[in-house]
Structure 1
Amino acid sequence: MRAPHRLAFFLATVVLMASAAWWALVQFDRLAGLGLPYAVMPTLTHAAVMTLGFIPLFFAGFLFTAGPRWLNVDPPSAEEVLPALGAQAAGWLLWLAGAHTHWVVACGGLMGVAWGLASVTVRFVRLLATSPSHERLHAKAIATALVVGCACVAGLGVSVALSQPALGIAFVETALWGFVVAVYVTVAHRMIPFFTSNAVPMADTWRPNWVLALLLGTAAFEAATVWIELFVTSSGAWMGKRAIVEISAGSLLAWLAFRWGLVQSLKIRLLAMLHLGFVWLGIGLVLGGITRVAGVFAASPVLPLAWLHAVTMGCLGSLMLAMVTRVSCGHSGRSLVADNLVWTLFWVLQAAVLLRIAAAMSAAPVQALLLLAAVVWCGVMIAWGLRYASWWGRPRADGREG
């Protein structure tokens, strides 16, 4: 019961469910005109909590469970990480409250988040520094991404204090690619081939370092584009070059998904969830490149949020559902399977992704589609969260520690 993933996953789920319900309420307010007060721009509030809110808490649960095994060191206990994780969870709930009351309240929440994330980062770096393992490449990449995340939270707080929402969005987008996506692809590179080779006959654990470099390089490129387009250029020539990179990278990632055993994985639900989630990253990048090309010909941004939600809701949301489900099953003494409930929720999530992309592409009832996508997302996350929250508070089914 002292395993850190239990606490981390529970707090992450609290923030996840709260943010999902909040965003559905905001969409309803926009459609029905409830007149909710806003002290922080809702788009910035939404982007920040969906990027830096629950995901780093899920990261902490995974990194302090799998990370020590990678590094051959002792894991921390739940009691040791409680202050850092509690500060992040409380900070994000305060952020949501401050978004409707006063920016000072929101910034106060970010201060707690910044301290909590920095504490997690320091603890993980210490594990890395004391590790006797010779295979620390993935852990080093994750540690670097954590530092980027800390810097972005600090930058977000300064942006809100200075009433610079555009700068705040830039820090959130940098965190998305330089922190969140970087951690996701690093873990995917290490774990998806491993899981597949264990479950699928004749599949090999194929994960050369150049593939990791490709994945991290793509994330770094997207993070850099945020600042290039904010301060340097967003010309048609630049957009054309960016489109070439994104379409090329997305196509390579689609090939990588098949190389890692996408087709073979479809027979095993939990494994299929991981592979299908990863496919969304390639789809999102290709869609982003197409968006850039269309924008050049239209002389203005075209569908700027469709590709982004393919990456965030499609890839990150699906992989979150799959990976947390897998860890929860394995560390609760249960079989590593996606039962009918989880499998159904996964496909309903895919419907939410398509609804959100359609809302970005539609010229007609956009707000109705946004509300529907938000409600479906909220329903999936609450149903999934309540299911596994009940597991995290119970002893393992097999009677073992963990």
Structure 2
Amino acid sequence: MSRSPLPMHDAPPVSPMVHPVLLAKGFRPFFLVGALFVGIALPVWSLVLSGRMGAPTYLDAVTWHAHEMVFGFGAAILAGFLLTAVGNWTQSETAVGGPLLGLVAAWGLGRFAMMASELLPPAVVAGLDALFLPLLTITLARPIVRARNTRNYPVIVALLALTTANVLVHLDALGVVAALRRRAMLVSVDVIVFFLVLVTGRVVAMFTKNATRAASCRNDPRLESAASIAAAAVLVVDALVVGPSLPRAVVLAVAAILVAARAFHWGARASLGEPMLWILHVGHGFLPLGLALRALAEVSSRVPQSLGMHAITAGAIGSLCLGMMARVSLGHTGRAITAPRGIPLAFVAVVVAALVRMSAAVFPVGASLALLVGSALTLAVAFVVFAVTYARILVGPRADGKAG
């Protein structure tokens, strides 16, 4: 397999190493803490579900779980990816050393506040958790704007939307606004979906073509643009429309069709023998599936809302994050893109966990509890396997002796 990292032009200039290797690139600490966080938060959620533990008191249990999966896990992986990618896109460092440590600390303070909310005043919980995303947005916006990297201005807009959604969740929790937390959480998932549509469109076909030499692997720029616009439209509709809606169903259905259609020539069949590829194709497949199921849920009470949402969250976000973490960590440390021992099983586990979680949405409550707990613990194991397997890679120097 190749050693190529993310295909985002040349790497930015690298200063002599004056800080720990763990703080040399954004993906190093954030991928590690993000994976470990899943390994802690999902077992805690399982204890809450089974009645063996009370949920943190700041939010209701379901919202707390959703919030921490998006703004805890999702934001960490997004930060690790973007801090690395934006440096390559703009030919300038984003955050290394002390500034990177500060971002990780801000993220960690938010997780502590949300987990131990009964020990803190509500306003302090909100302030600590709301700190990270504005800092991340500023850190990433500066090099993008300075380089006039207009192609990636949507990244800034999406980060601002994610920041706003988090603030609205907290304002609802504090009683400043009413009945906004569910809509804000929905928009936050939409933002992550937008990033996934954007990133997979740029890299999956190319990764597959480079690894398999399949000449048929290609992107259609028009479909890529249309899919990104459709993903953004879903976000806007979810922000503006309350309750089941035919217009929302139409937008979701169109987005599902476009996201699926663009992948037709990505070479999914050629990826089947290579775990580092098939996990990306399978993870991407959950995106149109989830969007389509969400569309059906808008017009039919027989389709649970949670079915499509968990195809997106557990399926697409879980699989694509794990797949990209595994790949980026190898490519950006000068290693061949070959799955380390145990990682293919982790890939299988994250897909199985997603399917089990989706099945729980259609079973009676008594039967679904075991499925919910089983799914959560399986997903936790997958990310713990990543953390244990990749810890030495993330904290150690590059295999090729280069800085970064």
Q: 1:224 to 1:65 in 2, by over 3 A?
A: closer
User: What SS is found at the alignment partner of 1:305?
Assistant: helix
Q: In the alignment, is the contact (CA less than 8 A) between 2:56 and 2:115 conserved in 1?
A: no
Distance across 2 between alignment mates of 1:22 and 1:164:
29
| Alignment map for 1:158-177 (pairs within 5 Å) | 158-162=171-175, 166-177=179-190
**In structure 2, what is the Cα distance between the partners aligned to 1:165 and 1:13?**
33
1:292 CA displacement: 2.7
Report the Cα offset of residue 346 of structure 1.
0.9
| 5+ long unaligned stretches in structure 1 | none
Letter matched to residue 3 of structure 1 = K
- Aligned partner (choices 252, 259, 265) of residue 259 of structure 1: 265
Structure 2 residues without counterparts, runs of 5 or longer: 1-20
In the alignment, which residue of structure 2 is the partner of 1:156? 169
Q: For residues 239-285 of structure 1, what are the alpha-carbon distances to aligned partners after superposition, in whole Å with 9 as ceiling and x for unaligned?
A: 3x433433343233223222222112223220111111111101111
- Cα deviation, residue 204, structure 1: 6.4
Amino acid at match of 2:87: P
Q: Secondary structure at the match of 1:162?
A: coil
* RMSD (CA atoms): 2.4
What is the alpha-carbon distance in structure 2 between the residues aligned to residue 41 and residue 271 of structure 1?
38
Shift of 1:194: 2.5
Stretch moving more, 281-290 or 43-52: 281-290
Moved more, 165-174 or 320-329: 165-174
Report the counterpart of residue 85 of structure 2 in structure 1.
66
Aligned to 2:121: 104
Report matched runs for 1:59-98 at 5 Å. 59-98=78-117
The CA distance in 2 between the partners of 1:45 and 1:346, in whole Å, is 26
CA distance in structure 2 between the aligned counterparts of 1:227 and 1:124, rounded to whole angstroms: 24
Partner SS, residue 84 of structure 2: coil
The structure-2 alpha-carbon separation of the partners of 1:223 and 1:248, relative to structure 1 and needing over 3 Å to count, comes to closer
Query: Bigger relative contact order, structure 1 or 2, given CA contacts below 8 A and separation 6+?
Result: 2
Are the counterparts in 2 of residues 103 and 161 from structure 1 also a CA contact under 8 Å? no
2:203 matches 1:191: yes
| Deviation, structure 1 residue 68 | 1.6
Q: What is the percentage of aligned positions where both structures have the same residue? A: 26
Q: Cα gap change, 1:204/1:85 in structure 2, threshold over 3 Å: closer, same or farther?
A: farther
Aligned-partner Cα distance in 2 for 1:87–1:119: 8
Instruction: Kindly indicate whether the alpha-carbon contact (under 8 Å) linking 1:72 and 1:132 is maintained by their aligned counterparts in 2.
Output: no
Change (3 A) 1:313 1:159: same
Name the structure with the higher helix share: 1
Distance 1:203 1:347 in 2: 28
Tell me: CA distance 1:104–1:267, structure 2 relative to 1, closer, same or farther (3 Å). Answer: same
State the partner residue of 1:352. Answer: 353
Aligned ranges 1:190-339 → 2 under 5 Å? 190-203=202-215, 206-230=218-242, 234=244, 238-239=245-246, 241-295=247-301, 302-339=303-340
Deviations 1:156-215 (A, max 9, x none): 1111111878411211111111x2112221111222233223223244674454334323
In the alignment, is the contact (CA less than 8 A) between 1:83 and 1:116 conserved in 2?
Answer: no
TM-score, with normalisation over the residues of structure 1? Answer: 0.87
